[in-house]
């Protein structure tokens, strides 16, 4: 039996969304087409996977069993593609580095420059990633490593090298009432409105928002943002605030924003993250350069 992975992905999307309409929106295809594709999968398997009614789509018993195996199949397929891509690059003299906006803060440029100086024949390809895209970029083979700010999704082959730690700060408009303080504590944030985002994992969003607070209360959320650039713009033009790393606040400094140390917030780590596999030697050398410079220069 030839199983089309695209159809399997469509089925998983419908199962997760609960309706064909929502799944079609997420997949950017027409709802009737999605329904036809899932029907085609059911015909291939010779079994009904979903019960369709006016309320949506519910898994049959066979569908529940197939869903569990489908997730494992898709992960294995993505891992296989990633392994093939990494093998192809192992002797190509190329390092693909993924990063979020802000990267390694003000250490990013020195690390890149020093690597170019030491390895002039190795191409360094930089790819900016969306919040929460780190693991999928690694497992798919789009990048060899990522400059990341945990927490991250777990993966059995995930390896992490800490470059440095930096404090978390509150980013706000220059005339925000809390800007009058020299430094803050988490309790001082009780009455502020924080930006929110749909990006990243829930654990990642909660950690950066300090949600819940030590006393069990939850932050008040306001404007939704999808990138650091949006976050800075919203903070500059509204009363909303954001918790971020000191390096990010410094890198995106503007005349109409300011930041204050949150003294009792756990620090953020900036890490190089990669998968334990046959890592190209050029990638190993990049890790060595980054570690060496972070030890010498420290946080900026």
* Boundary of a domain, candidates 55, 83, 111: 83
**Which pLDDT belongs to residue 72?**
85
Question: Measured between alpha carbons, how far is 17 from 282 in angstroms, rounded to an integer?
Answer: 41
> 224 and 188 in one domain?
yes
Domain end position, chosen among 36, 63, 83: 83
Give long-range contacts, CB 8 A cutoff, 24+ apart: 110-119: 110/293, 110/297, 111/289, 111/290, 111/293, 111/294, 114/289, 114/293, 115/285, 115/286, 115/289, 115/290, 118/285, 118/289, 119/282, 119/285, 119/286
> Do 252 and 195 belong together in one domain?
yes
Q: Are 265 and 186 spatial neighbours (Cβ–Cβ below 8 Å)?
A: yes
| 190 and 123 fall within a common domain | no
Range of the domain at 76: 5-83
Considering the domain architecture, whether residues 174 and 114 belong to the same structural domain is answered as: no
User: CB-hemisphere CA count at 13 Å for 42?
Assistant: 17
Give this prediction's pTM: 0.64
Residue 234 predicted with pLDDT over 60 = yes
Q: What is the pLDDT of residue 285?
A: 85
pLDDT at 119: 87
pLDDT of residue 111: 86
Could you report the per-residue pLDDT of 268-277, keeping only the tens digit for each? 998 989 887 6
Residues 42 and 58 in one domain: yes
Same domain for 178 and 190? yes
In a domain, 224, yes or no: yes
Residue 300 banded pLDDT, cuts 50, 70, 90: very low
pLDDT tens digits, 160-177: 888 889 999 999 999 999
Tell me, yes or no, whether 69 and 210 share the same domain. no
For residue 51, being part of any structural domain is answered with yes
- The reported pLDDT for the residue numbered 84 is 63
- Tens-place pLDDT, residues 57-110: 899 999 999 998 998 888 877 777 766 665 555 455 788 899 887 766 667 788
Do 147 and 198 fall into the same domain? no
Whole-number pLDDT of residue 92: 52
Task: Flag the least confident range among 8-22, 55-69, 250-264, 280-294.
Answer: 280-294
Domain membership flag for residue 253? yes
Instruction: Judge if 122 and 173 occupy the same domain.
Output: no
> Residue 241 above 70 pLDDT?
yes
147 shares its domain with 202: no
Pick the more confident residue, 131 or 194. 194
pLDDT for the residue 123? 87
Tell me the CATH number at 260.
3.40.190.10
Q: What is the mean pLDDT of the chain?
A: 87
Is 184 part of any domain?
yes
Query: Is residue 298 a part of any domain in this protein?
Result: no
Select the highest-mean-pLDDT range: 30-34, 72-76, 191-195.
191-195
Q: Are residues 140 and 105 both part of a single domain?
A: yes
User: Residue 78: how many CA atoms within 13 Å on its side-chain side?
Assistant: 16
Please give the tally of structural domains in the chain: 3
Same structural domain for residues 71 and 126? no
Say which CATH number the domain at 13 has: 1.10.10.10
In a domain, 275, yes or no: yes
């Amino acid at each position: 039996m030839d199983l089309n992975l695209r159809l399997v992905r469509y089925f998983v999307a419908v199962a997760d969304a609960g309706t064909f309409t929502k799944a079609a929106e997420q997949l950017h295809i027409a709802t009737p087409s999605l329904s036809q594709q899932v029907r085609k999968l059911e015909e291939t398997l010779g079994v009904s996977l979903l019960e369709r009614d006016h309320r949506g789509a519910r898994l049959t018993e066979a569908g529940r069993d197939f869903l569990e195996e489908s997730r494992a199949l898709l992960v294995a397929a993505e891992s296989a593609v990633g392994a093939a891509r990494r093998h192809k690059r192992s002797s190509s003299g190329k390092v693909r580095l993924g990063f979020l906006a802000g990267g390694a803060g003000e250490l990013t440029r020195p690390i890149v420059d020093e690597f170019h100086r030491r390895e002039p024949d190795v191409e360094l390809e930089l790819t900016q990633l969306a919040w929460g895209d780190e693991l999928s970029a690694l497992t798919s083979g789009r990048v060899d490593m990522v400059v990341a700010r945990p927490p991250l999704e777990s993966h059995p082959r995930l390896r992490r090298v800490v470059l440095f730690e930096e404090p978390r700060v509150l980013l706000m408009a220059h005339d925000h009432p809390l800007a009058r303080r020299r430094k803050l504590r988490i309790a001082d944030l009780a009455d502020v409105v924080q930006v929110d985002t749909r990006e990243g994992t829930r654990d990642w969003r909660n950690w950066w928002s300090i949600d819940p607070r030590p006393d069990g209360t939850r932050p008040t959320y306001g404007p939704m943002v999808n990138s650091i650039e949006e976050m800075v713009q919203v903070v500059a033009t509204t009363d909303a605030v954001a918790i971020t790393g000191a390096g990010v606040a410094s890198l995106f400094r503007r005349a109409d924003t300011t930041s204050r140390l949150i003294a009792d917030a756990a620090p953020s780590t900036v890490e190089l993250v990669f998968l334990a596999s046959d890592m190209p030697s050029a990638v190993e050398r990049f890790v060595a350069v980054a570690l060496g410079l972070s030890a010498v220069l420290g946080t900026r």
